[in-house]
Amino acid sequence: MIESRLAGQRDGAPVRHNVIMTDETRPLLILPGEGETIEAAGVDHLFRLTAAQTGGRFAFEEFSLAPGTMGARPHVHHGHDEYFYVLENELTVHNGDGEVTVGPGHLLAALRGTPHGFRNAGDATVRGLCLYTPAGYEDYFRQVHDAVASGAVVDDAMLNEFRARFNTTPHVVAAQD
């Protein structure tokens, strides 16, 4: 067991991770389909690497978003960076002051303090990759999933409450004239 501080921790208390120790002279091989599957707020996540496997350095996931699904309303992370890479179909991305639609091969770097959000406005499932650094935000998805499994209703208030635990705030989009 190791201790690390996640940038998203508000109280500064250490977070304990069970770390899978590997022979550092050999890479960690994750086979196709392996990882932790979490469905949260309409997004299917397959976490290929989590804080437990990277010592808290980063988390890496594959995600899929069904047609017509809001992946995440505009928000700002104050404790971690996110990198989205689109594999299949088109993802509509909020970029701070508007939206842009991106397709396969596009990379979105949402650094700390950068407003962003995403949705699938198309008619086909979007698949992509996401990297979080440092790791820890995967716990947000676990907590949302567990709350819904216990009967909670997903709405903006519920998601904002959970996001606040991970140093993430909503981004209010100014009305267009």
Domain definitions of the chain by residue range? 36-170
Q: Is the pLDDT of residue 147 over 80?
A: yes
Report pLDDT digits (tens) over 107-136: 999 999 999 999 999 999 999 999 999 999
Q: What is the mean pLDDT of residues 45-67?
A: 95
Counts for the chain of helices (H) and strands (E), in that order:
3, 13
Is-contact 16 120, C-beta < 8 A? no
| pLDDT the model gives residue 22 | 52
| pLDDT the model gives residue 8 | 41
Sort 144 into a burial class: Cβ within 10 Å, 0-12 / 13-18 / 19+.
buried
- Cα separations (Å) of 115 from 11, 18, 81, 122, 144? 24, 32, 11, 22, 21
| pLDDT the model gives residue 41 | 79
Classify 130 as helix, strand or coil: strand
| pLDDT the model gives residue 3 | 38
- Tell if the pTM clears 0.85, that is, is over it: no
> In sequence order, which ranges of the chain are alpha helices (DSSP H)?
51-54, 138-149, 156-164
Report pLDDT digits (tens) over 3-27: 333 434 444 444 454 555 555 667 8
Instruction: Establish how many alpha carbons lie within 13 A of residue 71's alpha carbon, considering only the half-sphere containing its beta carbon.
Output: 25
- For the chain, the distance separating the N- and C-terminal CA atoms, rounded to the nearest angstrom, is 54
The CATH number assigned to the domain with range 36-170 reads 2.60.120.10
